[in-house]
Amino acid sequence: MSSGSIKNINIVLLGAPGAGKGTQAEILVNEYGLLHVSTGDMLRSAIKEGTETGLKAREYMDRGELVPDEVVCSLVMDRMSREDAEGGVILDGFPRTRNQAEVLDASLKAEERKLDKVLYVAVSDDVVIERLSGRRVCPNNCKVYHVTNMPPEKEGVCDVCGEKLLLREDDKPETVKNRLEVYKKSTRDLVDYYRDKGLLAEVNGDLEARKLFEEIDALFRAEGFIDDDTQ
């Protein structure tokens, strides 16, 4: 299956917390060589580094609320203006509000770029809760695991760096409940926003990760996004 490259294609991964956006982004990066731009990862790095952005973001993230648009938009626009983003990006966790979507549209247009596809990773609330309660992360951000779906080779320890795996601060049950509510209130409307623009493709996020990737790969091939290395 697969192996090919994608160039100059900009993709958004849209979906509930825990839908599997980050997991698919990692597979897509490995398979096609696109740049992964995850607002969640950027904000967590800012918190770890103790930057001003991190200090601002922390109080929102710990409660499962959205970080203010201006903070997130400035991070993303800065990242997308760098040279390595010119060949195309996978945006994971951005946009999350109508305002963020409009800022992204305007910024791409100003640079004579465009959004090529929005993958809506659709999952049920039950799946979200099962995935987030079982998620374990590496403190060095090497990899994301799940206690049953994607366990590490040695229980509780990162396969790559050997550090002890952690439960993400915002994966505690009371915060997950709020994140789901915030998603339904602020982000889910973007499904219609992008459907109206003819950019939306819904994929079945309940599928096992590799099966879901195969669905996405078929879709990208049908769209003519992939330069196949094997031909």
Active site residues: 21, 96, 135, 168, 179
Q: How far is the CB of 164 from ligand AP5 (least distance, A)?
A: 16
Using CB positions, name the residue nearest to ligand AP5: 40
For ligand AP5, the closer of residues 8 and 124 by Cβ is 124
Instruction: Kindly tell me which of 199 and 207 has the beta carbon lying closer to ligand AP5.
Output: 207
Instruction: Give the span between the Cα atoms of 195 and 64, in whole angstroms.
Output: 27
Least Å distance, CB 56 to ligand AP5, is 11
Cα torsion 149, 150, 153, 157 to 10°: value is -110
- The DSSP-derived string for 44-66 is HHHHHHT-HHHHHHHHHHHHTPP
CB-nearer residue toward ligand AP5: 92 or 231:
92
CA distance 141 to 160: 10
d(CA 193, CA 202): 13
CB of 115 to ligand AP5, least distance (A): 15
Task: Pick the closest to residue 167 from 2, 10, 18 (CA basis).
Answer: 18
Closest Cα to residue 149, out of 127, 164, 122, 167? Answer: 127
Closer to ligand AP5 by Cβ: residue 167 or 227:
167
Q: Are 128 and 18 in contact (CB under 8 A)?
A: yes
The site for ligand AP5 (CB under 6 A) is made up of 15, 17-23, 39-40, 43, 60-61, 64-67, 72, 93-94, 96, 100, 131, 134-135, 144-146, 149-150, 170, 179, 207-209, 212
Q: Report the alpha-carbon distance of residue 19 to residue 30 in Å, rounded.
A: 19
